[in-house]
Amino acid sequence: MRINPESFAFMVLLGLLAAVPYSGIDINLPALAATGSTFGVSASDVGLTTSAFMLSLATAPLIYGPASDRLGRKPILAFGLALFVAASFGCALASSLPALLVCRFIQGIGAAATATTFAIIRDLFDGTAARGRIANVMVAVNVATVIAPTAGAALLAAAGWQSIYATQAAMGLALLLVVIFRFAESATIAPSARLVPTAVIDSYRRVLTHPVSLPYILVGAAGGAMVFAYVTGASLFFVGAVGLSPEQFGLIFSACSASVMGGAFLDGQLGRRGISSACMLATGLTLSAAASVVLLAMTLTGWMPTVPVAALLMAVALGFGLSAPNVVSATMQHFPDIAGAVSAAAGSIQLIAGAISSGLVAACFDGRTALSTTVVMAASALLALVLYFLVARPADRRLQSQTIERLMRAGSMPKSTAS
């Protein structure tokens, strides 16, 4: 029996699928030192496995997206999850760092197939319904982000670092079985659709030249850069400069993740009550930008007490939670036939922007202040705000006006409806 797309169980499935890449990063972080000890290398060397995972996570969707548009979401998900399971077992059995690096790269290729989650939502839902479900998926992803490091630490203490990868394999296998036996194909595939290079190139050309989708992709990329700057810089500042314990920093990190969840949940609830996507997007972007600028001003004055800084970071996260579901929805709404390609392009560009911002924060960290973090966060947040108000929103309104005019000229829309 297939899972009903309208059911709670279906939303849980989408949430778990979307959480696979993020849990694949966070659950391994507590085990870097222990893994390095096994192989006789440093924890920073083992950290390259995370880079390998993220590299494949950023690039593989560029193939999966168009493939899922032409072959269907289900076979792509099944292939990716099967590869993720096999690579996870390979990681658990790795006897050297090079072997682990290769397996982590392949594991990322498998995990990247779950990027089709948002395309599945676009296949089945539209408007407020899609926005609400995207918000629910974001809540699930952030729950995984909060839980994963603690789960990884517990597994490490109980059975060693290999058990972390074995657990990922077991979770991937469970999802694979559900996808095979309980998930019904969501994409509508044209009989003439073919997976050829020219078709793939044409899909990305359509996305990257669209007057509305491209600006929203860039808004999302700037927002992602802001979040990656926080993720990289917050630990450097709070633990490395302020001297908080990892447990104390963990509380701040969890509070910020909870703020993202709260923002996404609130957006979904307000959407059901008729609050427009544009309103929530503007509110979220403005809140994140304002809080980031205040953090930068505090850094420049040298006044950075822990509690106010943590509160402002939570405000940034809340704004991101309010805006992100609406950015995703706006990005994908114009391309129902190639939703996979849109999702892949947006996700890859966001990860690239995040990698750049993360690298800038780490490279410019002075060991004493949060200057590199707050500069990159404020610049990214302001860029997202400017791109939305000066580029994306006007382009969206122009396209809507042009659509209404075409319908009126064609006689298919009464003038009173347009007004």
Residue 242 and residue 93 share a domain: no
Query: Mean pLDDT, 10 residues at a time, over the chain (419 residues)?
Result: 88 91 81 86 80 86 88 93 96 93 94 91 85 85 80 88 94 96 84 72 91 94 92 82 79 87 90 89 96 97 93 95 92 86 90 87 87 95 97 91 79 48
* Secondary structure of residue 12 in the 3-state scheme: helix
> Is 386 part of any domain?
yes
d(CA 68, CA 52): 24
Residue type, 76: I
Residue 9's contacts (CB-CB under 8 Å, 6 or more residues apart) are: 3
Residues 137 and 211 occupy one common structural domain: no
- In this structure, what DSSP letter does residue 113 have? G
Predicted local confidence at residue 416, as pLDDT: 43
Backbone dihedral angles phi then psi of residue 192, each to the nearest 5 degrees: -85, -5
Please tell me the distance from the alpha carbon of residue 15 to that of residue 139, in angstroms, as a whole number.
8
* Pair of tokens at residue 268: 């979904």
pTM of the model: 0.84
CA distances to 12, 110, 214 from 172, in Å: 15, 10, 33
Question: Based on the domain organization, do 346 and 228 belong to the same domain?
Answer: yes
Distances (CA, A) of 157 to 25, 150, 169: 18, 11, 19
Longest dimension (CA), the chain: 74
Distance CA 95, CA 389 (A): 52
pLDDT, residue 333, reads 85
Give the list of residues 6+ apart from residue 396 with CB closer than 8 angstroms, or none. 212, 278, 330
Let me know if residue 306 belongs to a domain.
yes
Task: Tell me if residue 274 falls in helix, strand or coil.
Answer: coil
Tally of domains in the chain: 2
Based on the domain organization, do 175 and 219 belong to the same domain?
Answer: no
Q: Which two tokens stand for residue 74?
A: 């289900």
Q: What is the dihedral of CA 272, 275, 279, 283, to 10 degrees?
A: -70
CATH number for the domain harbouring residue 225: 1.20.1250.20
Host domain of residue 375: 199-401
Residues 65, 340 contacting (CB under 8 angstroms)? yes
**177 and 237 part of one domain:** no
**CA 389 centroid distance within chain:** 22
| 408 domain residue, yes or no | no
* Residue 289 confidence (pLDDT): 97
Asked if 135 and 214 sit in the same domain, the reply is no
With tokens 């020219």, the residue in question is 198
Identify whether the C-beta of residue 257 lies closer than 8 Å to the C-beta of residue 142: yes
CA distance 247 to 364: 25
Asked if residue 416 belongs to a domain, the reply is no
Tokens of 80: 């990716």
Instruction: Give every CB contact of residue 338 below 8 A, 6+ residues apart in sequence.
Output: 65, 66, 69, 203, 206, 207
Q: Are residues 204 and 180 in the same domain?
A: no
Within a domain: residue 235? Answer: yes
Q: Which residues contact 136 (CB under 8 A, 6 or more apart)?
A: 11, 14, 15, 264, 265, 268
Domain shared by 173 and 210, yes or no? no
